[in-house]
Amino acid sequence: MPIFVAMNYVIYTFHIATILSMLLSGVFIASVRGSKPPLIYLQLYWFVSIFLCIVNIFQTLHTPVYGQALWNPLHLLMLLAVYPFLFAYIFGMLRPGSIGVRFWLSAYLPLTTLATLYFGFDALFGKLPLFSNYAELRNYLNLPQLWVLFAAAAFSIVLISHYTVRAVGMMRYHKRNFESNFSCTEGNTLEWMWWAIAITLFKCLLVLTRIMTGGSAVSLTVVIFFSIEPVIITALVLRQKDLYGLSTPKDKKLELRNGNSELSSEKQNFLKQKLLLLLEKDEVFKNPDLDSAQLSEMMQTNRTYLSLIINQGMNTTFFDLINNYRLNKSVEMMRDPLRQDMNLSAIAEICGFKNLTAFGRYFKKIYGKSPTEWRKETFPDENSPE
């Protein structure tokens, strides 16, 4: 069966590529970002996956038929063993301090129970025979360890679905929270987490499909995807800034507890005038990295009071307030006859936009057209530089 032998060599090659990919990803992230929580969870995700991948190679080396090579109970146990680490990283990023004993017990107590039952039934009733597709699986429905595997599959679906729903809820909160804390979303968006979760769900779907069908094409897809996944996740992670500057609901309660729960109208007006002075006279909006923590420190107040002034007193968000000042300044400069030769990148930088892309995106949001189009329509006889 030369085709199966060749296919097995391809599988082993991609397994080795997976191990190298995970190892390099873990080491690279540690060298760039360090190994403190929550990054340590991501590194553990890679290193536990490496261990399980090595175990799987030894399993397949003792399997003579390729159709059976990737089907073994370890797949479900692998699935349940590694994913809590990935979601621990995501939860730790979104809400520091949320990963405790309860989180690990909810993941690994059922896993330990299922693994103990499976190997216990293996010892009592004999090992579950290997099979290559669902048709063969039906021949072993009388064996209790097969039902343990069904329970493990169901638990993996429930666990990962629970993690996904929880992560989505946290991401929605932080998406709203971004506009209350940051004036620029470059590097602060959570799009990469959506991709990470989508990759995780796709990976689970591949494994479960492989388990139930035994198809060689699915098997090859699984190992190829496993080998490139660490590179994708690493690239996404390194684009993300730390989120620890963001306030959470608990933070806001703590800040309110340390002060009054309500602002008097006099104090609100005082802080509002202080804010307007910083924006209009000092032009603090020109700092491209300005965030609510910096601005509240300049005003000698806290972020909660700053949010109250902006959200309730000015009926806007921190993000829109700062970027509106930047946009107004940029339009003022673009209208200035003495600055007609100034390119848009320079104007964007002077006004506090992180880059031309951020400037163009917000300009189009407000004016419905790009800065270039606006400039050409406003000064049709001028050749506007970019």
Q: What is the pLDDT of residues 40-61, one digit of tens each?
A: 888 888 787 777 777 766 766 6
Q: What is the mean pLDDT of residues 168-176?
A: 79
Q: What pLDDT does 219 receive?
A: 59
Burial class (CB in 10 A: 0-12, 13-18, 19+), 282: exposed
Lowest mean pLDDT among 180-189, 190-199, 267-276, 337-346: 180-189
pLDDT digits (tens, 9 = 90+) for 153-166: 788 788 888 888 88
Q: Are 99 and 91 in contact (CB under 8 A)?
A: yes
How many other C-beta atoms are found inside a 10 Å radius of the C-beta of residue 382? 12
Q: Are 163 and 83 in contact (CB under 8 A)?
A: yes
Reply yes or no on whether the pLDDT at 67 is more than 60: no
**Highest mean pLDDT: which range of 7-16, 43-52, 150-159, 230-239:** 150-159
DSSP track, 201-242 = HHHHHHHHHHHHH--HHHHHHHHHHHHHHHHHHHHHHHTPPP
Angle at 109 between CA 108 and CA 113, to 5 degrees: 110
Q: What pLDDT does 71 receive?
A: 47
Q: What pLDDT does 255 receive?
A: 45
Reply yes or no on whether the pLDDT at 183 is more than 70: yes
Q: What pLDDT does 61 receive?
A: 65
Lowest mean pLDDT among 57-66, 87-96, 118-127, 317-326: 57-66
- DSSP single-letter state for residue 130: P
At 2, the pLDDT band (50, 70, 90 cuts) reads low
Question: How high is the mean pLDDT of the chain?
Answer: 77
Q: What is the mean pLDDT of residues 246-267?
A: 55
Angle at 188 between CA 184 and CA 190, to 5 degrees: 135
